Chains A and B, each alone.
Chain A
């Protein structure tokens, strides 16, 4: 079945540091890939998405590129802020299926 694997957290960074959160997936066909973010005490919000190979999703300074050859969708940001502290979830939606498969989430903690 489909699965998403994320690096375990927490990831602890200082403000303005470079961020990478790794995500790899297993799925049949050509899934769409997503990053969702969950701020403390809130529900999940879509951060960015990519629907086909080599697409780059971007939003709020975050980027991720759909790499079919490595089945990866790593999240990056050049300079994190304290306000980026949250849990980040990688997810996929397989063509023809109306469900999201989530990774376990990676907590990011950014200190001033």
Chain B
């Protein structure tokens, strides 16, 4: 079954304690991205990756890091989490056929992060 898997689904942590949210896809997609979803703000892109070892900032990258060492994995790293990073996070992947125009983005089920 084609899917994007995020772990963990729920996480409560304390300010300043480094954490990693993992994302893995089994569709051999080149493109992967991370979004955060906040009430009244919709989805905002944090980082994206066009392929292995190629990453770029989205709209709200501050406080986050990513890496793309393998095609299937795209972890999101919060080196020093703060309460304003409390949010619902989604990983997504899609294939590239030129631009993104005709390809569907597949989303993970989300990770609800609370930073206290």
Where the two chains meet, the residues of A that have a C-beta atom closer than 8 Å to any C-beta of B are 32, 36, 41-46, 49, 51, 89, 93, 95-100, 102-105
Contact = CB atoms under 8 A, between A and B. Distances in A.
Interface in B72-116: 90, 92, 96, 99-102, 104-105, 107-110
B110 A99 contact: no
Interface string B44-64: 110010100000001000000
24 contacts: A32-B101, A36-B105, A43-B109, A44-B90, A44-B105, A44-B107, A45-B107, A51-B101, A51-B102, A89-B43, A97-B99, A97-B100, A98-B96, A99-B33, A99-B48, A100-B45, A100-B92, A100-B105, A102-B42, A102-B43, A102-B44, A103-B42, A104-B41, A104-B42
A41 B111 CA distance: 10
Nearest to B4: A43
- The contact size tier of chain B is 20 to 34
A43 B91 CA distance: 9
Contact of B99 (A41, A43, A95): A95
B63 to A, nearest CB: 20
Contacts of B105: 36, 44, 46, 100
Given A43-B90, A89-B42, A103-B42, A98 B107 contact: no
A104 B35 CA distance: 13
Given A46-B104, A89-B42, A104-B41, A96 B99 contact: yes
B43 A42 contact: no
B4 A98 contact: no
Nearest to B105: A100
